[in-house]
């Protein structure tokens, strides 16, 4: 385990100050900061230490410190470790206009940490003679919680992904393979031209986004093409954070106000992550890395596998005492965070360098004898083309996965809807669904009327062959032709005239019993079937209309849900704004109380001064009276002399 290295840098005061002394303690006023032994800083009030306002860090730099000195003390060891295979991160934190961008980027005369680190990476790599290196760089910004690629115009709103092979990475981010510091400087100029800047009351060129300059350093042993030697892959992050803002001081409004809200929110989440990491392991709860894209990207550097250095910049003026105190409290908590850094070695073909060795070995052999710059450019171009193809392949694979998940989701929804439709179509019709019994009877399948089973008449047309046409021994309710002759005394009875049930006539034969003959007052079967078919068609149309109405109602329900969600989001934002306004009001009240206390102190001092002045005036008057009496006495004595 290794503690995060934390240093504090005070920028020179913006107001007029003696040139011989630019330390924080030379700014004047009742409250001032004093640096002790370059490691401790204390807040003084009228030259007396303020209780609870003393902080100790690894290094404390005053306004006279240069970027090169800060880099040498704090970051150079980080670069050496990154070349050796350790992940490294260095970032500047502080209020707006405190010198973060100057510390990280510097100027033409005073280069900052990023250009110094770039040169140091290539110089250190050249000193390592037994390994060969492949370096690629990327440059991104987080503007209003959206990730933009500063090296490619139009590449905005990039997503964050995580894999076992690459860890946490930004998908679609352009990476350039470089072989010199000058190439990196050109890419940095391109990125700075695309970065968001703005003007506020505190800074003419204020950073409106967090920027992350990333260098991926891959290395392997020379002359071991087939030995399976491990490849070292390290990631170096150089981060320039936007400064925390107080609206009362910056005077931000409109777009600047929105930018300030997102900046303060991400910095607040960063502070929450640091607070959680600084707690004891038993008391530590959930660490909210995913609440902000900044902390999500920097997750390995905060309590993970990386060496981390933090430069906290502060303003020494008395007007910024409270902001400086908050910065020092953040730095003090960050000093308690521990990382577990280790060399990153892989034995698979995942590293880009190992995938390219075989393809560029032939060109390298040609280059060894001629030292041709043309062949070097060809190798670099081939590396960039291969790397772009790898990134394009990864992007297409992710898009294919998204399309596959979307298709599965749609198929599932279609299957659910088909089940619902089948359930509706298979729903049985019960008499409870109809209020009119006639309407329900009309939907039944037409059948012939039931015949009573009390009596069955049949004609005996059997042949003389007893085997095939036996005479029934027990007649029961069955009567044959001879029985009818005996009962009717020889008279032949027309069976068609025989009424078995009132209102029902028997068919002339058993074969004709299978068909039912309609009476003139009954509806024909064909007409009835047509009418029922029309009714079924109407019912089907009514069912389709019901389905359409249901779909419309579902769409309306979804619309209402979306409106409700948007209203809830707006309400949450309004509550956040209200909380922020309440916090600003409380802060203003606290500042007003401080001003009132200062005014009371000033009144007390004026009162004491008035009393002292009155006392002094009385003494002077008494002295004047005594002097005048002495002069009069002298004159009188001179006149008395002869």
pLDDT in tens, 395-445: 777 777 777 888 788 778 777 777 777 776 565 445 555 455 555 555 454
Distance CA 469, CA 472 (A): 9
pLDDT over 80 at 630, yes or no: yes
pLDDT over 90 at 70, yes or no: yes
Q: What is the pLDDT of residue 49?
A: 87
Residue 95 assigned ligand-binding role? yes
Q: What is the pLDDT of residue 376?
A: 66
Tokens describing residue 251: 């005077």
Residue 597 assigned ligand-binding role? no
pLDDT (average), residues 166-170: 86
| Parallel, antiparallel or unpaired: strands 59-61 and 5-11 | parallel
Beta-carbon contacts of 173 under 8 Å, excluding residues fewer than 6 positions away, are 138, 140, 147, 149, 155, 158
Mean pLDDT lowest among 53-62, 286-295, 497-506: 497-506
Residue 94 assigned ligand-binding role? yes
pLDDT (average), residues 460-480: 48
If one counts every other C-beta atom within 10 angstroms of the C-beta of residue 65, the result is: 20
| Cα separations in angstroms, 633 against 619, 627, 628, 630, 639 | 21, 10, 9, 5, 10
DSSP letter at 456?
E
Residue 427 assigned ligand-binding role? no
pLDDT over 50 at 511, yes or no: no
Q: What is the pLDDT of residue 345?
A: 82
Q: What pLDDT digit, counting tens, does each position of 417-427 carry?
A: 777 777 765 65
| Cα separations in angstroms, 93 against 26, 77, 239, 285 | 23, 20, 9, 25
Rg of the chain in Å (alpha carbons): 48
Distance CA 274, CA 361 (A): 46
Tokens describing residue 524: 């024909």
Distance CA 179, CA 165 (A): 25
pLDDT over 50 at 516, yes or no: no
Instruction: Give the residue from 248, 260, 333 showing the smallest Cα distance to 591.
Output: 248
pLDDT over 90 at 452, yes or no: no
Q: 55, 331 in Cβ contact below 8 A?
A: yes
pLDDT over 70 at 290, yes or no: yes
Q: What percent of the chain has pLDDT over 90?
A: 28
Instruction: Give the residue from 278, 212, 329 showing the smallest Cα distance to 3.
Output: 278
pLDDT band, residue 234 (cuts 50/70/90): very high
Q: What is the pLDDT of residue 237?
A: 95
Q: Across the chain, what does the average pLDDT equal?
A: 78
Q: What is the pLDDT of residue 72?
A: 93
3-state helix, strand, coil in the chain (%, to 5): 50, 20, 30
pLDDT (average), residues 35-54: 87
pLDDT band, residue 467 (cuts 50/70/90): very low
Q: 275, 326 in Cβ contact below 8 A?
A: no
**Domain 2-13+29-346 - what CATH class?**
alpha beta
Could you tell me which residue, 262 or 632, shows the higher pLDDT?
262
pLDDT band, residue 265 (cuts 50/70/90): very high
pLDDT (average), residues 550-563: 81
Place of tokens 């100050």: 17
Distance CA 287, CA 303 (A): 10
Mean pLDDT lowest among 258-272, 441-455, 551-565, 573-587: 441-455
Q: What percent of the chain has pLDDT over 70?
A: 75
pLDDT over 80 at 377, yes or no: no
Residue 604, H or E segment: helix 525-640
Residue 97 assigned ligand-binding role? yes
Distance CA 600, CA 49 (A): 22
Distance CA 417, CA 300 (A): 45
Q: What is the largest CA-CA distance in the chain?
A: 210
pLDDT over 70 at 574, yes or no: yes
95 beta partners: 244
Mean pLDDT lowest among 46-50, 203-207, 451-455: 451-455
Q: What is the pLDDT of residue 22?
A: 44
Tokens describing residue 593: 């109380």
**Helices and strands (DSSP H and E) totals, the chain:** 14, 23
Give me the phi and psi of 588, to 5 degrees please.
Answer: -65, -40
What 3-state class would DSSP assign to 606? helix
pLDDT over 90 at 24, yes or no: no
Q: What is the dihedral of CA 22, 23, 24, 30, to 10 degrees?
A: -80
Residue 98 assigned ligand-binding role? yes
Could you tell me which residue, 373 or 469, shows the higher pLDDT?
373
Instruction: Give the residue from 485, 514, 513 showing the smallest Cα distance to 500.
Output: 513
Could you tell me which residue, 524 or 196, shows the higher pLDDT?
196
Could you tell me which residue, 384 or 482, shows the higher pLDDT?
384
Report H helices in 371-445. Answer: 373-425, 437-442
Parse the chain into domains and list their residue ranges.
2-13+29-346
Q: What pLDDT digit, counting tens, does each position of 100-158 carry?
A: 999 999 988 999 999 999 999 999 999 988 888 999 999 999 999 999 999 988 888 89
Q: What is the pLDDT of residue 15?
A: 53
Q: What is the pLDDT of residue 125?
A: 93
Q: What pLDDT digit, counting tens, does each position of 291-342 carry?
A: 999 999 999 999 889 999 999 999 888 888 989 999 999 999 999 999 998 9
């Amino acid at each position: 385990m290794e503690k995060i290295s934390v240093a504090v840098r005070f920028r020179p005061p913006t107001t007029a100050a003696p040139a011989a002394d630019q330390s924080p303690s030379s700014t004047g006023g009742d409250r001032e900061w004093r640096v002790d032994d370059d490691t401790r800083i204390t807040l003084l009030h009228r030259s007396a230490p303020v209780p609870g306002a003393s902080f100790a860090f690894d290094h404390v730099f005053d306004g006279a410190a240069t970027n090169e000195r800060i880099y040498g003390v704090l970051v150079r060891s980080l670069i050496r470790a990154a070349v050796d295979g350790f992940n490294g991160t260095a970032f500047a934190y502080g209020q707006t206009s405190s010198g973060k961008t100057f510390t990280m980027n510097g100027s033409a005369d005073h280069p900052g940490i990023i250009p110094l680190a770039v040169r140091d990476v290539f110089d250190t790599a050249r000193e390592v003679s037994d390994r060969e290196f492949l370096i690629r760089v990327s440059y991104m910004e987080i503007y209003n919680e959206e990730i933009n690629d500063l090296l490619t115009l139009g590449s905005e709103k990039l997503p964050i992904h995580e894999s076992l092979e690459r860890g946490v990475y930004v998908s679609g981010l352009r990476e350039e393979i470089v072989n010199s510091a000058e190439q990196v400087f050109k890419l940095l100029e391109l990125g700075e031209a695309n970065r968001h800047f703005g003007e506020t009351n505190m800074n003419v060129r204020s950073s409106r986004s967090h920027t992350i300059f990333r260098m991926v350093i891959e290395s392997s042993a020379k002359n071991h093409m087939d030995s399976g030697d491990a490849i070292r892959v390290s990631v170096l992050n150089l981060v320039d954070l936007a400064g925390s803002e107080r609206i009362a001081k910056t005077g931000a409004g409109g777009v600047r106000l929105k930018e300030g809200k997102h900046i303060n929110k991400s910095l607040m989440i960063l502070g929450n992550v640091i607070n959680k990491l600084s707690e004891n392991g038993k008391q530590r709860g959930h660490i909210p890395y995913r609440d902000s894209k900044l902390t999500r990207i920097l997750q390995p550097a905060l309590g993970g596998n990386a060496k981390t250095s933090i430069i906290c910049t502060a303003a020494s003026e008395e007007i910024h005492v409270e902001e400086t105190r908050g910065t020092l409290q953040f730095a003090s908590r960050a000093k308690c965070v521990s990382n577990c850094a280790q060399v990153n070695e892989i034995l698979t073909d995942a590293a880009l360098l190992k995938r390219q060795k075989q393809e560029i070995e032939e060109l390298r052999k040609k280059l060894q004898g001629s030292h041709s710059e043309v062949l070097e450019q060809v190798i670099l171009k081939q590396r960039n083309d291969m790397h772009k193809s790898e990134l394009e392949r990864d992007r297409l694979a992710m898009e294919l996965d998204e399309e596959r998940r979307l298709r599965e989701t749609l198929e599932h929804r279609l299957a659910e809807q088909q089940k619902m439709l089948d359930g509706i179509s298979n729903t049985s019709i019960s008499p409870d669904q109809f209020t009119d019994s006639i309407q329900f009877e009309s939907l039944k399948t037409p059948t012939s009327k039931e015949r009573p089973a009390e009596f069955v008449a049949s004609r005996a047309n059997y042949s003389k062959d007893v085997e095939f046409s036996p005479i029934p021994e027990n007649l029961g309710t069955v009567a044959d032709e001879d029985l009818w002759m005996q009962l009717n005394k020889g008279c032949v009875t027309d069976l068609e005239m025989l009424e078995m049930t009132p209102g029902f006539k028997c068919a002339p034969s058993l074969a004709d019993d299978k068909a039912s003959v309609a009476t003139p007052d009954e509806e024909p079967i064909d007409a009835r079937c047509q009418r029922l078919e029309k009714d079924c068609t109407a019912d089907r149309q009514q069912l389709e209309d019901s389905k359409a109405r249901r779909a419309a109602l579902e769409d309306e329900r979804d619309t209402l849900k979306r409106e409700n969600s948007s209203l809830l989001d707006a309400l949450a934002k309004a509550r956040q704004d209200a909380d922020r306004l309440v916090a600003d009001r409380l802060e203003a009240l606290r500042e007003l109380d401080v001003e009132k206390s200062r005014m009371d102190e000033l009144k007390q001092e004026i009162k004491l001064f008035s009393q002292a002045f009155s006392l002094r005036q009385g003494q002077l008057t008494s002295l004047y009276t005594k002097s005048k009496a002495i002069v009069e006495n002298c004159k009188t004595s001179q006149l008395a002399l002869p």
